[in-house]
Structure 1
């Protein structure tokens, strides 16, 4: 075995050791930011360093700063772990080092994306004819979807936004729920609309958009409406069928931010929450959340592939394979792209349709177990648990903050804080494929112990 082979084998040994011990490790980082800065810092080396030594230095420097998001008791964000097949595929993808721009440059990578994209649309109940862009995550997926919306709506109004820009363009009404994710606002900034262009539609008690208010505020004619599948705090989903029918009656475009909630469509037990999802025009979804593939992995779907490509693609004479057929990168904001499709393909092969459904149902069941356990302990569960999100209060805001800080220091589990309806609350997100009932019970016991001390 040559030097490169020995190095990759040693890296694999470190990876195996980490994954075999992560379930028993402290969930949060054990080193301070200052200590990590020192471990990674120092002057830039003048002379080369042996690659084997570099690998050992990296492992030693990073060890205390790794958060066990791949383990079974990280509940701080909607962060999945990484399935075994997906992790192994990602390691191969790094070794193969394919640039997934198009099928000429990376034939196998594009074939994997094409197959996985078809499976994803089938699982999520989206039109088979929709285009799929393998993007970095929800932020890029929302930006791509809204870029397609911008192109389509302004074309309806007789304006070529790719050629003329937004200066002098007709005004485009943009509506989204007051409980929208912040990435929607960022996308509007990046696309030149600005956040002042957005009209916020009131939400109901669960955070879902109020259809009556949408009907009242939505003008006739081309408009962009952003809906949500999976409120980031409560898990609630907008009434997608009613909203899509209303928007289309008036000539508008519907974009659905379904970063994690779109996966509800993959389970018969939760599919009703996203009824009507197929009626939308564009969709954003993440793989590194509920599908449990390694970072970074997201999907931008569009019902009109030509509009999708027209909004974000480009051509150049030197790009071999550029032509009338859209390349994979034509559906993303990237040119040089990591071959994300290998890990997604592997995850879907590992789980199958039934495995994805079971994963969604199990996480929802475990979220309800969290809510029941914490309610029985005397704490306030604020939301109706419809998916995998649980909001918990421990009295006033200051005490809630103290409890969360204690949990993050303790290491048994990791939860984050959020502000919901003016209150500071602990947010629990159950998204990891490795999480079990015993992990939930162990976490509930730790929360009870730490809350008593706080």
Structure 2
């Protein structure tokens, strides 16, 4: 028992040392991938290895290849760091090693998901009666939401898709903005609807769906099973669809409105940005990440559905040996995974750590820091091409080739990490401010580094 306690403490010390180093360490540096692979390879030992030696070997092998994604100057891919209480709770979750299938396999895991799911719905303005499935990311959340949509629109057409499949089913039309996230397309593939079911709707100047074009598309399509995928937070610009008008249109034509709000849905948590997602409560399902703007550990996301019975009908299953199944939908009833880690503990801890005011302050601070980024780079003579309404900034440095060189130089420099993207036919630097520990000094230091490298 003393050896186990010592091992766990060593692991916690390594984790704490790493997290404390993040403000000062290079964010990302070029890595010799072959050498890194070699450090992990070799013959599988025949004999057991002491656990403490294994831990030391793992730390030594991994350290050179770690990217400071949890640090204050990582601005790529809309990635947040993990809050202290949430990280500690995740350590406990690993130690407790619970199976969050249902309230029989882990009463505590289901209780944590139920409680934190209620808090999430309250923060986001989602109806309290909606279901909340705890999944791995936006991909899984979109897939769950669209599975529920597929179930309902086909049921309305008299077709039981869970029993009869899609062969011979009425055709399902899926309308989505031209600048939707790629996970929507992947979900349609996974659900058997296929990307040929997609009917792209033109986007406005900042990438939000054009509601007039959506109205025209729905009118032209006429009656039939219809799903419309809306977006809160364009992946490049941060722009949000007009959710109130769009949901009204969708329901007028008898369709299902799904909102991909991987990061943008968090605008609802702040009075300063809530207007951007006005009307979100009128949707039928929602996808949202926790490991992005809420700063929870990877991998944490949520699939909400206004009709829990539909959510469960699309996702759940039963078997004689699964004791505890068939009650109020919870746990694995709302996700595609049966063997589920207990994500709810970290979610509960993170929300308790921040509170309502803390979540709002986090959103407002990241938006303010994104504007500071835009102002600093504009003052340095570079072009910010989007309206900075949330935490996304798109920057051009002249021609595409030069922009790509600046992005690559910034990634190699190590001061900060920024990504590249293509938007409206142009190569641009994409900056996402999502970390709870980022300060004005971090932004200023990053602007200075980008300016130095660009010149």
TM-score in terms of structure 2 length: 0.98
C-alpha displacement at 1:173, in angstroms? 1.2
1:139 alignment partner in structure 2: 139
1:105 alignment partner in structure 2: 105
Q: Is the 8 A contact 1:220 1:251 kept in 2?
A: no
Matches within 5 A, 1:313-328: 313-328=316-331
Is 1:154 matched with 2:154?
Answer: yes
Q: Is the 8 A contact 1:146 1:187 kept in 2?
A: yes
Is 1:265 matched with 2:268?
Answer: yes
2:170 alignment partner in structure 1: 170
C-alpha displacement at 1:327, in angstroms? 3.3
Q: For 1:30 and 1:401, locate their aligned partners in 2 and report how far apart those are by CA, in whole Å.
A: 16
Q: For 2:336 and 2:386, locate their aligned partners in 1 and report how far apart those are by CA, in whole Å.
A: 36
Q: Is the 8 A contact 1:29 1:64 kept in 2?
A: no
1:69 alignment partner in structure 2: 69
Q: Is the 8 A contact 1:229 1:238 kept in 2?
A: yes
Matches within 5 A, 1:41-52: 41-52=41-52
Q: For 1:264 and 1:381, locate their aligned partners in 2 and report how far apart those are by CA, in whole Å.
A: 22
2:37 alignment partner in structure 1: 37
2:81 alignment partner in structure 1: 81
Q: Is the 8 A contact 1:30 1:64 kept in 2?
A: no
C-alpha displacement at 1:30, in angstroms? 4.8
Q: Is the 8 A contact 2:372 2:443 kept in 1?
A: yes
Q: For 1:324 and 1:38, locate their aligned partners in 2 and report how far apart those are by CA, in whole Å.
A: 50
Q: For 2:397 and 2:37, locate their aligned partners in 1 and report how far apart those are by CA, in whole Å.
A: 35
C-alpha displacement at 1:31, in angstroms? 2.7
Q: For 2:117 and 2:7, locate their aligned partners in 1 and report how far apart those are by CA, in whole Å.
A: 34
> For each residue in 1:85-113, what CA deviation from the matched residue of structure 2 results, as whole angstroms up to 9, or x when unmatched?
00000000000000000011101111111
Q: In structure 1, the residue corresponding to 2:293 is in which secondary structure?
A: coil
2:421 alignment partner in structure 1: 418
1:385 alignment partner in structure 2: 388
Q: In structure 2, the residue corresponding to 1:300 is in which secondary structure?
A: strand
Q: In structure 2, the residue corresponding to 1:425 is in which secondary structure?
A: strand
C-alpha displacement at 1:325, in angstroms? 2.9
**Per the alignment, do residues 389 and 360 of structure 1 end up closer, same or farther by CA in structure 2, a change over 3 Å counting?**
same
> For each residue in 1:255-296, what CA deviation from the matched residue of structure 2 results, as whole angstroms up to 9, or x when unmatched?
000000000000000000000000000000000000000000
Q: Which of the residues 334, 344, 349 maps onto 2:347?
A: 344
Q: Which of the residues 290, 294, 298 maps onto 1:291?
A: 294
Q: For 2:32 and 2:264, locate their aligned partners in 1 and report how far apart those are by CA, in whole Å.
A: 34
Q: In structure 2, the residue corresponding to 1:23 is in which secondary structure?
A: coil
1:439 alignment partner in structure 2: 442
Is 1:409 matched with 2:400?
Answer: no
Q: For 2:328 and 2:268, locate their aligned partners in 1 and report how far apart those are by CA, in whole Å.
A: 30
Q: Is the 8 A contact 1:174 1:224 kept in 2?
A: yes
Is 1:17 matched with 2:20?
Answer: no
Q: In structure 2, the residue corresponding to 1:112 is in which secondary structure?
A: helix
Q: Is the 8 A contact 2:133 2:330 kept in 1?
A: no
Unaligned runs of 5+ in 2: none
Q: Is the 8 A contact 1:176 1:199 kept in 2?
A: yes
Q: Is the 8 A contact 1:29 1:66 kept in 2?
A: no
Q: For 2:392 and 2:372, locate their aligned partners in 1 and report how far apart those are by CA, in whole Å.
A: 11
Residues matched between the structures, number:
452
Q: For 2:428 and 2:377, locate their aligned partners in 1 and report how far apart those are by CA, in whole Å.
A: 13
Is 1:206 matched with 2:200?
Answer: no
Q: For 2:172 and 2:243, locate their aligned partners in 1 and report how far apart those are by CA, in whole Å.
A: 21
C-alpha displacement at 1:220, in angstroms? 3.6
Q: For 1:164 and 1:246, locate their aligned partners in 2 and report how far apart those are by CA, in whole Å.
A: 30
2:370 alignment partner in structure 1: 367
> For each residue in 1:289-323, what CA deviation from the matched residue of structure 2 results, as whole angstroms up to 9, or x when unmatched?
00000000000000000000000110011111012
Q: In structure 1, the residue corresponding to 2:49 is in which secondary structure?
A: coil
C-alpha displacement at 1:47, in angstroms? 1.4
Is 1:238 matched with 2:219?
Answer: no
Q: For 1:16 and 1:326, locate their aligned partners in 2 and report how far apart those are by CA, in whole Å.
A: 37
Q: For 2:433 and 2:328, locate their aligned partners in 1 and report how far apart those are by CA, in whole Å.
A: 40
2:28 alignment partner in structure 1: 28
> For each residue in 1:198-256, what CA deviation from the matched residue of structure 2 results, as whole angstroms up to 9, or x when unmatched?
00000011000001110110134331000000000000000000000011011000000
Q: For 2:123 and 2:217, locate their aligned partners in 1 and report how far apart those are by CA, in whole Å.
A: 33
Q: For 1:319 and 1:335, locate their aligned partners in 2 and report how far apart those are by CA, in whole Å.
A: 11
Q: Is the 8 A contact 1:28 1:414 kept in 2?
A: yes
Q: For 2:327 and 2:433, locate their aligned partners in 1 and report how far apart those are by CA, in whole Å.
A: 44
C-alpha displacement at 1:29, in angstroms? 4.2
Is 1:310 matched with 2:313?
Answer: yes
Q: For 1:327 and 1:126, locate their aligned partners in 2 and report how far apart those are by CA, in whole Å.
A: 17
Q: Is the 8 A contact 2:130 2:307 kept in 1?
A: yes
1:188 alignment partner in structure 2: 188
Q: Is the 8 A contact 2:29 2:411 kept in 1?
A: no
Q: For 1:288 and 1:3, locate their aligned partners in 2 and report how far apart those are by CA, in whole Å.
A: 33
Unaligned runs of 5+ in 1: none
Q: For 2:327 and 2:140, locate their aligned partners in 1 and report how far apart those are by CA, in whole Å.
A: 24
TM-score in terms of structure 1 length: 0.99
Q: Is the 8 A contact 1:127 1:278 kept in 2?
A: yes
